Amino acid sequence: MHYEGDHIIRPPSEADSIILQVTVGCSHNRCTFCGTYKDVAFRIKEEAVVAADLDFAARYCTRQSRVFLADGDVLALSQARLVSLLEKIRARLPWVKRISLYGNARAIRNKSIAQLRALKALGLNRVYMGLESGHDGVLAAINKGADAAAMIEAAERLHAAGLFFSVTALLGIAGAALSQEHARATGRVLSAMEPNQIGILTLMLLSNTEIDRLEKAGEFHLPGCMAMLTELRTMVEHIEVKRGQLQSNHASNYLPINARLPRDKEAVLAAIDLALAGHTQLKPEYLRAL
């Protein structure tokens, strides 16, 4: 497979997927906390290169039934390019049962419901979107490129198209001062979005990011481990969904959670309380990673 760049990232639930790199970098690439593609100009890979990777997968990846389209925002491609790509995947990898990709709120909102339904009909099954926070002040501070209302609108389009969608929230992103406000607002926005899957990550400062510069200058204060868990508790307490997965199985998290909501909500809150009381062993710093 032909991969470009220093980082090929994917969600934890795509660990066993064929990773097909269609774009290089991220179409937004301005979030203050993300250093993954800071020195990479977003571009679409040549069709011939992607076709060669499909040929490779057709020969050597016959036991893998999922495809994840990388890099940061493949949904930003034109509808015609996406349709062509999905048709090629169906033709070359007919055993594949699930195709997934990242999509930010702008890219989702740039597609009509009819266009999203057409992509679903061609095999697109799952869209991963980064909410990070439901607090508009925090979203503006981290230069996310969308406010909470835009995030909810994007979710409504995915719902209408019948696509499974997974949303990530980020502990610590509001800093110590707005930790609880961020947690409450994020819980409320996640409730309004009603995602099929909620993935919770914990902020880790990277040396090539604006938020790390702010932290070194004393302008941003990262919450400590216990404050992160308190933030997590508040966030979960404010999530009210009809049905969905809740996971904090990313390597950045101190406390792993794998639960079904609303069924397991009280059990999750009890588990967090045990951790806050010191009765649960948390992941040590040296094992945390991105």
Q: What is the pLDDT of residues 209-260, one digit of tens each?
A: 999 999 999 999 999 999 999 999 999 999 999 999 999 988 899 999 999 9
What pLDDT sits at residue 112? 98
What pLDDT sits at residue 55? 97
Mean of pLDDT values over 12-32: 93
**Strands 43-44 and 23-24, how do they pair?**
antiparallel
Q: What angle do CA 211, 217, 218 make, to 5 degrees?
A: 90
Mean of pLDDT values over 10-39: 92
Residue pair 69/122 in contact (Cβ under 8 Å)? The answer is no
What pLDDT sits at residue 12? 85
Q: Would the pTM count as exceeding 0.85?
A: yes
What pLDDT sits at residue 148? 98
Q: What angle do CA 253, 190, 65 make, to 5 degrees?
A: 65
Higher per-residue pLDDT: 82 or 40: 82
What pLDDT sits at residue 234? 98
Mean of pLDDT values over 114-128: 98
Task: Evaluate if residue 7 carries a pLDDT over 80.
Answer: no
Q: What is the pLDDT of residues 182-192, one digit of tens each?
A: 999 999 999 99
Mean of pLDDT values over 136-144: 98
The 10 Å CB-count burial string (b at 16+, else e) for 144-155 is: bbbbbebbbebb
Euclidean distance between CA atoms 112 and 265, whole angstroms: 34
In DSSP terms, 260 is beta-bridged to 245
Higher per-residue pLDDT: 15 or 230: 230
3-state secondary structure of 147: coil
Task: Evaluate if residue 9 carries a pLDDT over 90.
Answer: no
Task: Evaluate if residue 37 carries a pLDDT over 90.
Answer: no
Q: Where are the alpha helices (DSSP H) in 163-239?
A: 179-193, 210-216, 225-237
3-state secondary structure of 124: strand
Euclidean distance between CA atoms 88 and 77, whole angstroms: 15
Q: What are the chain's domains?
A: 12-287 (3.20.20.70)
